[in-house]
Amino acid sequence: MKFIKLFVVISFAFCTLGYGQHTVSKQVSTFTIEATQLQTQKKIWVYLPKNYSETTLDYPVFYMQDAQNLFDAKTSYAGEWQIDEYLDSLTNQNVIIIGIEHGNEKRMEELTPFPHDTYGGGKADMYLDFIINTLKPQIDATYRTLKDPKDTTIFGSSLGGLLSFYAVIKHPEIFGNAGVFSPSFWFSNAIFDLVSKSEISQSSRFYFLSGSNESETMVPDQQKMVALLLEKGVPGHHIKSTIIEGGQHNEALWRDHFPEAYQWIIKN
């Protein structure tokens, strides 16, 4: 547990140091948008399918946290997820990926729903307000997107996993699916209280992933949350809970298992 907390607290202070040469696909572009809710600007990464310009199709959208680590080894902290390489390898690419860069030293406060006595935080509602009321309208106006919640996924790891889970609980009218990798449920027990007291949408779907070598609480917390969702009436086939034996709290775990999560979300 001490390692996980240390990783969360200090690792992203060094995220912009880079991890090699640029590896980003030509399918990826970036733009900057004003995030008035957070009193900052956000750099957004966009992955479009290779045949996007050749079709008139509308596409489901994944909103993913920590964009610096998703597409490019140069901008990643400790290796990228290789999402663009994976999607480029598929015969049928039927998704738009929107990567939202984290706020460096403000990452913790942006991605946490509740404050921690030691680490602070607790501004996730402002961050989600930015996504819902500023970013998503621009994405929907610019690209051919499917706008139904069942076609809108929010995805992240560690604090980003916590944020993504929280988003589906609080805003099921926007986000129908959550990719929840190594979620930092340890940050505050209030997340369990929120689920216990909330009406959980029966159509929401959750893909959980954790590694057995992350911390002593990671797997038990995931299992506790899955059990709680089932108690709240979420159908069992709307939950996928994966535990990787020997998996550690790092980009390699999340990169290696993104394809399985992606396929489960897209196909279900």
pLDDT digits (tens, 9 = 90+) for 219-263: 999 999 999 999 999 999 999 999 999 999 999 999 999 999 999
Instruction: Report pLDDT for 13.
Output: 42
As a whole number of angstroms, the distance between CA 91 and CA 1 comes to 41
Going by the DSSP 8-state scheme, the letter that residue 20 receives in this structure is: S
As a whole number of angstroms, the distance between CA 135 and CA 212 comes to 35
CA angle (121, 179, 14) in 5-degree steps: 50
The two beta strands, 177-181 and 152-157, are parallel
Q: Are 191 and 114 in contact (CB under 8 A)?
A: yes
As a whole number of angstroms, the distance between CA 223 and CA 165 comes to 14
As a whole number of angstroms, the distance between CA 220 and CA 226 comes to 10
Class of 2-267 in CATH: alpha beta
In degrees and rounded to multiples of 5, residue 194 shows phi and psi of: -60, -45
pLDDT digit string (tens) for 115-128? Answer: 999 999 999 999 99
As a whole number of angstroms, the distance between CA 241 and CA 110 comes to 26
As a whole number of angstroms, the distance between CA 105 and CA 255 comes to 23
Query: Confidence class of residue 5 from pLDDT cuts 50, 70 and 90?
Result: low
The predicted model scores a pTM of 0.92
Ranges of each domain in the chain: 2-267
* More confidently predicted of 52 and 78: 52
How far, in whole angstroms, is CA 189 from its chain's centroid? 20
How far, in whole angstroms, is CA 59 from its chain's centroid? 18
